[in-house]
Amino acid sequence: MNPSNVRSRLTRDFPPNRRYLIGVSGGRDSIALLHWLINLDYKKLIVCHLNHQLRARSSDADARFVEKLAKKYQVDFELGAANVRVLANKKKMSIETAAREARYSFFAKAAKRRRCHTTFLAHHADDLVETFLLNLIRGTGTTGLAAMPDVSTRRVDNVDLTIVRPFLSVWRTEIDDYVDEHRLKFREDASNKNLGPMRNRARNRIIPYLEKIIGRNVRQNIWRTAIIAADEENWIVNAVPDSTNPDLLVSKLRALPVALQRRAILKWLRAQNISEVGFEVIERVRSLVDREASIAKVNLPQDRHVRRRAGKIFVE
């Protein structure tokens, strides 16, 4: 693994002498990222580990492993716990989505407590390819296709998190070589081999099949398309009106092209902490803008609603 261009940009934009959070699951990717950053003289890292309570004793062992590693590197440690299965059932969402929400909520709490709002995550090039492919299948549009930029800002529980993914141009095989070269110990998650979750099927079945029938450059081509989509998405997002107000003005939405209407609604719903925002949800809200609309209320996930009244659209 020799991401020299990544190294120069990272140390320029995020100087090593400052404090940063880093998400560490105990798996090979996050272990490699932690080791790599330590070697780049990032000495003020705060290792953050969330126990998802999904694998009983194995989850507890993961937490102990990461805590010992933080002590070895002489960096601070933040431990959190969340019953992800209960959270998924309560909010009627997938385990993967619930786990992601729990992690970001944990990062937000750690950021607020530590007064440090930048978090390093170990997503890599293969993760980007898998996410792009899954979102393409789900029909998320370019917003979903560009869902994993190398640097982004995410508002969680009224905390603005800067998410940095230094390995987004580094392939899994390169990380494997790095781990082997430095003889790094890590925790193997047996659930990664379970073909139940869609991501695992994409990783272990769909992408290898595409490579077999199309060619070995499939991953690289998908990765390149995802990077282009991310740059274009950033440009479009900047053209979307501000979403911090609790209400949307119907007149302003009507004045926008359909594409920007959808983006404005998406940005606004996310600012209102509405999860599971997909095309159907956005279109339901957008129907309230129609002059001929006979309804003034539409449903959202988690038993919430959007209502139109007096020229305004708001969540209740």
Taking only the tens place, the pLDDT of each residue in 196-249 is 678 888 888 999 999 999 877 899 999 999 989 888 887 887 777 666 778 888
Pair 162, 107: CB distance under 8 Å: no
Residue 70 makes CB contacts below 8 A (sequence gap 6+) with 24, 47, 76, 77
Residues making up the chain, counted from first to last? 316
pLDDT of 183 higher than 80: yes
pLDDT value, residue 3: 58
Q: Can you name the residues that pair with 183 across neighbouring β-strands?
A: none
Average pLDDT value for residue range 76-91: 91
pLDDT value, residue 105: 94
Q: Token pair for residue 40?
A: 């780049």
pLDDT value, residue 191: 63
pLDDT value, residue 122: 96
Write the single-letter amino acid at 100: R
Write the single-letter amino acid at 149: P
**Burial class of residue 188 in the structure, from the number of CB atoms within 10 Å of its CB (0-12 exposed, 13-18 middle, 19+ buried):** exposed
H or E element at residue 234: helix 218-239
When the pLDDT of each residue in the chain is averaged and rounded to a whole number, the result is 88
Residue among 34, 244, 277 at smallest CA distance from 158: 244
Lowest-confidence region among 40-44, 111-115, 129-133, 228-232: 228-232
**Burial class of residue 294 in the structure, from the number of CB atoms within 10 Å of its CB (0-12 exposed, 13-18 middle, 19+ buried):** exposed
Q: What does the alpha-carbon distance between residue 197 and residue 227 come to, in Å, rounded to a whole number? A: 25
Q: How confident is the model at residue 299 (pLDDT cuts 50, 70, 90)?
A: confident
Return the beta strands (E) in 174-316 as ranges.
247-249, 297-300, 304-309, 312-315
C-beta atoms surrounding 73 within 10 Å: 16
pLDDT value, residue 165: 96
Q: How confident is the model at residue 126 (pLDDT cuts 50, 70, 90)?
A: very high
pLDDT value, residue 88: 87
| Percent of residues in the chain assigned helix, strand, coil, to nearest 5 | 55, 15, 30
Pair 240, 260: CB distance under 8 Å: yes
Average pLDDT value for residue range 98-112: 94
Q: What does the alpha-carbon distance between residue 183 and residue 162 come to, in Å, rounded to a whole number? A: 31
